[in-house]
Amino acid sequence: MPGVHCEVEPAGTRLLVRVHGELTLATAPRVRATLLKCLMERPDAVVVDLERAVVADPHAVAVFQAASRQASLWPGTPLLIVATDPRTTRLLEAGYGRVALIATVDEALTVEPRRHMPSMSEVLLPLTGAARRARALARDACDRWGLEHLAGPASLIAGELVTNAATHANTMADLRLTRGRRYLMVAVRDGSTQPPVLPPTSSPDPAAPRGLLLVDAVAQRWGTLPADDGKVVWATLPLRPPAT
């Protein structure tokens, strides 16, 4: 069965990923896992060279759009795609979600990536006071970026996500707040691969955990992404309140 192989090599402050072989729905997860691992190392940029890759299934190129969206959420590392084949370029341009297409590897290794979105982050130990510190960081971020109207919901989300990480993962929680073009993003990375589960709203137990229910009620969207040796739980808030 044709497969795919990814070669990763450092190139200055960036990582270069050369993809060899056939890209299909069956081999795309292997490419995705490689890209996620590279993103977790937080280089200046991740450059993906598709010159030796053959897109056998057009739907498989969605792996790059998904990785690019994840990179914008966490950890904010630019993903630069080099595709010389016209068909591959058309597929990448036509897919859902924008990717940064660069003409050559040399250009991708030297081009100035688009400016990083403003962000604030802190690593918190699973100790008493972690949620309080997360809430304070969220309020500080909102004050700094002129988003005082989001200080309340952002601090609630940050506190609940850090509490979940401390309670269920019992590992350090890497909290990151990012001001995007349209959304404020709150993300927490922990060391557990177990995805969060939204509890039933009808539970009669007053001690039942309700943190995710609060996040679900306040955030416009939330979700989870696999990370190297763990996961990232994220939530977004629109910068502008909905029109009334």
| Domain range 4-110, CATH architecture | 2-Layer Sandwich (3.30)
The token duo for 92 is 């990448």
Domain range annotation of the chain: 4-110, 119-238
State the SS3 of the chain. Answer: CCCEEEEEEEECCEEEEEEEEEECCCCHHHHHHHHHHHHHCCCCCEEEECCCEEECCHHHHHHHHHHHHHHHHCCCCCEEEECCCHHHHHHHHHCCCCCEEECCHHHHHHCCCCCCCCEEEEEECCCCCHHHHHHHHHHHHHHHCCCHHHHHHHHHHHHHHHHHHHHHHCCCEEEEEEECCCEEEEEEEECCCCCCCCCCCCCCCCCCCCHHHHHHHHCCEEEEEEECCEEEEEEEEECCCCCC
**The predicted structure's pLDDT at residue 1:** 44
Q: pLDDT per residue over 33-75, tens digit each?
A: 899 888 877 788 899 999 999 999 999 999 998 888 777 766 6
**The predicted structure's pLDDT at residue 44:** 85
- Can you say whether the dihedral through the CA atoms of 70, 71, 73, 74 is positive or negative? positive
N-to-C CA span, the chain? 56
**Domain 4-110 and domain 119-238 have a common topology:** no
* Residue 182 φ/ψ, nearest 5 degrees: -125, -15
**The predicted structure's pLDDT at residue 11:** 92
Q: How many residues does the chain have?
A: 244
Q: Which of 189, 183, 165 is nearest to 219 (CA)?
A: 183
Where the chain has pLDDT below 50, the residues are 1, 206-208
* pTM beyond cutoff 0.85: no
**The predicted structure's pLDDT at residue 168:** 81
**The predicted structure's pLDDT at residue 128:** 85
- Amino acid letter, 238: P
**Number of C-beta neighbours around residue 38 at 10 A:** 25
Q: Which of 177, 160, 171 is nearest to 73 (CA)?
A: 177
**Number of C-beta neighbours around residue 156 at 10 A:** 21
**Domain 119-238: which topology?**
Heat Shock Protein 90 (3.30.565)
